[in-house]
Amino acid sequence: MSGHGVSHAAALSVDHRGYASAVLDGRPWRAASAPLEPWTAAGVLSGAVGVVPAAVVAVLSLRHRTPRVLRPVTSRLRAAHSGHVGDYAAWLTAGVAFFGLLLFTV
């Protein structure tokens, strides 16, 4: 799929009025807005804000000597990972439920 196709699909997915009109009135559905820009500085920055700290904690957790500042964080992460499959299923379920709640409240 080309970059234009992805941006067109994204524009369609956020066009709530167009979707409602297509479903309820049977009108043709076209994107109401211009195609979205694939890369923006704000988008890259917001992605980096979430990814960079997670990568730093992950890399430092793999080392045998964790810096003192991160020891409380990494010790709690290690304590939460027991290796039991049921625990991971419970964490996955809790995470999906949490993100579901975020989607419906925002």
Give 46-100 pLDDT, tens digit per residue: 889 989 998 987 887 776 677 788 788 878 877 877 788 998 899 899 999 999 9
Which residue, among 28, 32, 26, has the nearest Cα to 13 in the 3D structure? 32
CA 63 to CA 21: how far, in whole Å? 56
The answer to pTM > 0.75 is no
Contact between residue 66 and residue 74 where contact means Cβ atoms under 8 Å apart = yes
